[in-house]
Amino acid sequence: DGGITQSPKYLFRKEGQNVTLSCEQNLNHDAMYWYRQDPGQGLRLIYYSQIVNDFQKGDIAEGYSVSREKKESFPLTVTSAQKNPTAFYLCASSIRTGRNGVGNQPQHFGDGTRLSIL
Amino acid sequence: AQSVTQLGSHVSVSEGALVLLRCNYSSSVPPYLFWYVQYPNQGLQLLLKYTSAATLVKGINGFEAEFKKSETSFHLTKPSAHMSDAAEYFCAVSGLNAGGTSYGKLTFGQGTILTVHP
């Protein structure tokens, strides 16, 4: 079955450490997204990518970095500069959006990674 | 810029009662609207989407939503609640920018936690 796989499910970060969250999809989607979810705040967009080797900052990109070297993979690194990294992180993908109303394509989500501070 | 407001962070109903989850949006151009459901420690699943084809949209699990432009609303309803409907529900909007393109950036509401009592 096609879908999005996020790993690990739970992750712990030590002070001053960078950690990387994995996101892989086999839906053949061009667009991929990373969201952060905190209780009572909905989902906030960290980074998104519409095509391989290209990505844009979302609303809360500070302290995070991404790469998009392959269509099916969009890893997120939470750097030591992110002072409050404890959250639930969700990866999503969709058909590439753009002109002619393609923005109506829904996003498909993985099951998330819960990051905590040691 | 677009925004979404979900009225009521918590809604409680009895099994068999009507479910009504409220969502109001703001967008300078005709929006695309989505409802997602999230079960504990999982990602989001698409319930339904509005893409201008019909104002009454039917989704999965017996849910439906009506787009009312005059009220800028997209409320989610289900005639008879089931225990398995207990989850968190998110309304989201994807707006077209002034150039007529949309990059699939979703703006999410804060979420509404639905509790169903026996």
The residue count of chain A comes to: 118
Q: What is the number of other CB atoms lying within 10 angstroms of the CB of residue A113?
A: 22
Question: Do A104 and B51 make contact, defined as CB atoms within 8 angstroms?
Answer: yes
Closest residue to A107, CB basis, from B9, B95, B106: B106
pLDDT at res. B54: 83
- Interface-testing mutation among A24, A107, A108, A114, with chain B (most B C-beta atoms within 10 A): A107
Q: Which residue of B has its CA nearest to A99?
A: B101
pLDDT tens for each residue of A12-69: 988 889 999 999 999 999 889 999 999 888 899 999 998 899 998 998 999 999 999 9
Residue B72: what residue type? T
pLDDT at res. B100: 57
Structure tokens at A74: 């969009």
Question: Do A102 and B102 make contact, defined as CB atoms within 8 angstroms?
Answer: yes
pLDDT tens for each residue of A75-91: 999 999 888 999 999 99
Higher pLDDT, A1 or A4: A4
Higher pLDDT, A44 or A103: A44
Residue A101 pLDDT exceeds 50: no
Residue A42: C-alpha distances to residues A45, A118, B57 (Å):
10, 25, 23
Write out chain A residues lying below 8 Å of B32, CB-based: 103-104
How many CB pairs (< 8 A) connect A and B?
80
**Bridge pairing between strands B56-58 and B64-68:** antiparallel
Tell me which residues of chain B have a pLDDT lower than 70: 28, 95-104
